Amino acid sequence: MIRRTLLFIPGNSPSMLMNSVVFGSDSIIFDLEDAVAENQKDAARILVRNTLRTFDFSDYEVCVRINNIKSEWWKKDITEIMKENIDTIVIPKAESAEDIMTLSCFLTEIEKEYKKEKQVSIIPILESPCGIENSFLIASSDKRVDALFLGAEDLTASINAKRSREGEEIYYSRSRVVIAAKACGIAAIDTPFTDTNDLEALKNDTVFAKNLGFDGKAVISPRHIDIVNTTFLPTQAEIEYAEEVLEAIKKGENEGKGAVSLNGEMIDAPIVNRAKQILKLAGGEKR
Amino acid sequence: MDKIVKSFKEVFRLCKMKDGMTLSFHHHLRNGDFVLNMVLAAAEKEGFKNLNIAMSSLFPVHETLIKHIKNGTVSGIDTNYMSGPLGEFISYGGMEKPVIFRSHGGRPKAIEERELLIDIAFIAAPSSDNMGNINGVKGPSRCGSLGYAFADVEYAGKTVVVTDCLVDYPNTPVSIDESKTDYVVTVDSIGDSARIVSGTTMITRDPVGLSIAKNAASVIAASGLLKNGFSFQTGAGGASLAAASYLREIMTEREITGSFCLGGITKYFVEFLNEGLFRNILDVQCFDLDAVESIASNPAHTEISASRYANPSSKSSVVDSLDTVILGATEVDKNFNVNVHTDSNNIIIGGSGGHNDAAAGAKLTIIVAPLQRGRLPIVVDKVTTLTTPGKTVDVVVTERGIAVNPLKPELAVKLSGAGLSVCSIEELKRKAVLITGSPVIKNRKTGKVVAEVLYRDSTKIDEIRGIE
């Protein structure tokens, strides 16, 4: 699955919900948590449910960010929205493997009750010191977890760090999340860029995240989608190199070679896998 | 010799103004215009009745016309566009005689062919000398191009220049020269400079508008027209400007140099010119001060008359050389007909302006509109008022799909081939109704006729009936 962009849509905004399919993100995260005031929680979950019932989201990964697992709302959120077809539950403020297992157990119950054939995935948002330090345990806690998502705003607030345009204060956390995700063979999703107007800084931030190993980035503004999508597409040089790698491997196989080199460098399995991934991305396969 | 006249009263006497005459005005001062209101206040004071007002466009600032219609000073209006309280007043049957709506190209045609006879043309002049050599690039009320006034001064019985900036003879550059001017009236101010430049000339930030704009730019990119020498017109609405901005990226990437930009000119077009993206701007009206500064200083940015812009009876007009135009719509119907005159309640909120002119001339006419506004679908079975016939419209671009006129099957193939989301106009309507439900359609054809819509060739293509 390609998740270059995951667009947050406030669960209590009918116009944004209605138009969420026109912006071109790979995934849509319907938000029942931070975007929704406490006295609007019930209205938002019904609104999101009806949106999913009314519009065609078949070209998108449908995600719902439920409320914190320590809150009184998260089970109600799941009970309501699972009446429709969703792909992924995004769980905020994930701090431990137990959080994920609790969520997964409840999802299993609901899927059984609603006779769902497909299991939903889980994306934990790591946005606290515990969440970051437990990132590997969280990533490996349940087979439903298929990506880790760094939430830098809450994280930096909780450690009294000052958010900067360059993101130096989250360098460690970013790296930690990428390593934990890749150690478990799942995707790493970068934190959103919160300045909706500074598109050049967004570009720099996205390139940096991509170079660290992130596979995609959450966005809070539809205006950010194009830049993030484009950045996470492979460059022409990357595509050409990937094609050369696969060509060399094919040639090596035909010639019965055990080890293959390209331009004097050995091509091993990770390089081949990366080449395949690049060509898959370049091919524009969305889901 | 001196053409300066001290008052409107004196000018009326010199021009032998009578009841029932047609007075013409141009709209370059847009919503900041004081001249129409000043002239009518003086005419009322002098007791004139049943005047016919031929102004190229009318804005909310011209609300005073309502008073003059009620007290009998004015009994007829001939215009290309009308917004604000006056439109609502007319829509509710406030004037006995129907308003005549024309297009920006149809108006000079009607003037030149003596269909619209102008007795006295009042020309708002940002600067003039004592003999009536005028331009729009100097003075506190500078507005740039004066293109819509050219036909008026050429064919009016008398031409009166109204200025708040009297300069030494000879005034240069000259847009309209002294050979056309009978009298010059000086006033304290001809307009409010803050409102002369339109407030609409900002690229939209609305994500749906941006999505539509991106689709429109993609349509142009896939059309086969985007190559060296490309010519382009767009409105000053936020989504149209956003489309132009996306187009700039594509042209830069493909290293394409266009020939000219046309229409109401904004700072974005000025940037295109300065960046070398287009060779020329042909300017019938400036929408902001950047455009005014540019036309004053850059020889590649040229003032053109409304006749050269779009007159269908001219030997040629610029719209005939236009590759692509992006236009808006309040409604589009299943036959690709477009309405920009009225809203869905049949209230007059606009007019063709150059809409049906550019659509008729351009090789590719793109209508951009959201699929729904509020709870109303924009794609409908039949437009409330016909402004631009569907046979001159090629593509309707919305945020949820692109419909190509069946008259252009080869275009549909090109757009589909480029991966764009092409569907039928019926499918667009279905998508809209899925969201909004089917609105109850009222019969709009029973009230008295409050306006006649003339196509650019002066044939009547629709009537607007009063709200009962």
- The answer to whether the Cβ–Cβ distance between A23 and B400 falls below 8 Å is no
Average pLDDT over residues B206-224: 94
> So what's the pLDDT on residue A286?
45
Tokens standing for residue B185? 């009236």
Q: Is B109 on the interface with A (CB under 8 A)?
A: no
């709209």: which residue's tokens? B27
Judge: B208–A221 Cβ closer than 8 Å, yes or no: no
Q: Cα separations (Å) of A98 from A111, A148, A180, A184, B52?
A: 20, 16, 17, 17, 81
- Whole-angstrom CA distances from B138 to B172, B268, B300, B322, B455 are 9, 22, 19, 30, 35
Tokens describing residue B417: 């081939």
Which positions in chain A touch B399 (Cβ < 8 Å)? 19, 22
Contacts of B268 (CB under 8 A, 6+ apart): B201, B203, B241, B244, B245
Neighbours of A20 (CB within 10 A): 24
Query: What pLDDT is recorded for position B447?
Result: 87
Q: Where residue B1 falls among pLDDT bands split at 50, 70, 90?
A: confident
What mean pLDDT comes out for the span B110-139?
Answer: 98
At A149, list the tokens. 């998502």
Q: Please report residues of A whose CB lies closer than 8 A to that of B214.
A: 226
Question: Which tokens go with B304?
Answer: 């053109």
Whole-model pTM: value is: 0.88
- The tens digit of pLDDT for each residue in B441-460 reads 777 777 899 999 999 999 99
Cα A16 to chain centroid distance, Å, stands at 20
CA B402 to each of CA A224, A244, B203, B330: distance values in angstroms, whole numbers, following the listed order: 23, 38, 21, 17
Q: What is the reported pLDDT for A287?
A: 42
Of A22, A54, A221, the CB nearest to B211: A22
pLDDT band for position B200 (50/70/90)? low
pLDDT at res. A285? 45
pLDDT at site A270:
75
Cβ <8 Å between A21 and B400: yes
Q: Which residue of A has its CA nearest to B400?
A: A22
Across the interface, do A222 and B207 touch by the CB < 8 Å criterion?
yes
The shares of helix, strand and coil residues in chain A, as percent rounded to the nearest 5, are 50, 15, 35
In this complex, do B207 and A23 lie within 8 Å of one another by their Cβ atoms? yes
Q: Kindly tell me if the per-residue pLDDT of B3 is higher than 70.
A: yes
d(CA A278, CA B401): 30
Mean pLDDT, residues B381-401 taken together: 96
- Chain A contacts of B208, Cβ < 8 Å? 19, 22
Residues in chain A: 287
**Of B137, B164, B163, B136, the residue nearest B150 (C-alpha):** B136
Say what the pLDDT of residue B236 is. 76
- Strand pairing category for A260-262 and A265-267: antiparallel
Cα separation of B126 and B174, whole Å?
A: 12
- Token readout for B428 is 């667009």
Query: End-to-end distance of chain B based on CA atoms, in angstroms?
Result: 56
Q: What is the pLDDT of residues B327-343, one digit of tens each?
A: 999 999 999 999 999 99
Q: Which helix (H) or strand (E) holds B372?
A: strand B372-373
Higher-pLDDT residue of B97, A277 = B97
> Which of A22, A54, A223 is the closest to B399 by Cβ?
A22
Q: What percent of chain B has pLDDT over 70?
A: 99
Q: Strand (E) positions, B172-323?
A: 183-186, 232-234, 258-265, 278-286, 301-303
User: Radius of gyration of chain B from Cα atoms?
Assistant: 22
CB of B399 less than 8 A from some CB of A: yes
pLDDT of residue A173: 98
Least reliable range by pLDDT among A168-182, B190-204, B426-440: B190-204
Task: Residue B211: list chain A partners with CB under 8 A.
Answer: 19, 22-24, 222
Backbone φ/ψ region at A94: left (φ over 0), alpha (ψ -120 to 50), beta: beta
Considering only CB atoms, which chain B residues are within 8 Å of A18? 435
| Rounded CA separation A30/A21 (Å) | 12
Chain A residues with CB inside 8 Å of B400's CB?
21-22
Considering only CA atoms, give the Rg of chain A.
20
Residue B129 has pLDDT above 70, yes or no: yes
DSSP B207-243: HHHHHHHHHHHHHHHHHS--STT--EEE-SSHHHHHH
* The pLDDT of residue B220 is above 50: yes
Q: Which residues of chain A have pLDDT under 70?
A: 284-287
Look up tokens 């080890």; give the residue. Answer: A259
Q: Mean pLDDT across the stretch B176-201?
A: 88
Q: Give the pLDDT of residue B193.
A: 84
Q: Which has the closest alpha carbon to B311: B251, B357, B362?
A: B357
**CA-nearest residue of chain B to A223?**
B207
